[in-house]
Amino acid sequence: MSTCSKASAKGDPGRHQRPGPGRPHRDTHHAAAARLLRETDDRFLVAPTVLAETCYLLHEFGSPAPEVAFLRSIAAGELELAVLTVADVMRMAELTERYADLSLGGTDASLVA
């Protein structure tokens, strides 16, 4: 799973960008991601930072139904909520600082930490 922070969306046409004139809402990676979710038996961990950002994006660009479905998928154990430790948060800070020129945000850093 990936995250889409404002900073990381720059320059990547496959990332979500706010729809507007000349920018229809579409995700070029949706079909591949949906297929992966359907066909894999692997566990998917979701960092709390990703949970919050996903809810934000679903709320902003969707409707309540997909946001509720996402939250229920975690509650049902279909997706596993990961735990971030203080050490993870420190590593997130280090990564965000180190890769500031790449606009790495805290949510993206949480996936690496």
In a domain, 76, yes or no: yes
Per-position DSSP letters for 60-74, written without gaps between them: HHS-HHHHHHHHHHH
In a domain, 14, yes or no: no
How many independent structural domains does the chain possess?
A: 2
Task: Give the pair of three-digit tokens for residue 79.
Answer: 């997706």
In a domain, 75, yes or no: yes
The residues that bridge with 80 in the sheet, in sequence order, are 45
Are 43 and 8 in contact, with CB atoms under 8 Å apart? no
| 46 plus 76 within the same structural domain | yes
Task: Give the pair of three-digit tokens for residue 5.
Answer: 């922070």
| 96 plus 109 within the same structural domain | yes
Give 38-77 pLDDT, tens digit per residue.
898 888 899 999 999 999 999 998 889 999 999 999 999 9
Q: Which domain holds residue 97?
A: 84-113
User: Which whole number is the average pLDDT over 73-94?
Assistant: 94
pLDDT score of 33: 87
Strand, coil or helix: 44: coil
Alpha-carbon separation of residue 109 from 12, 27, 53, 113 (angstroms): 17, 22, 13, 6
| 89 plus 59 within the same structural domain | no
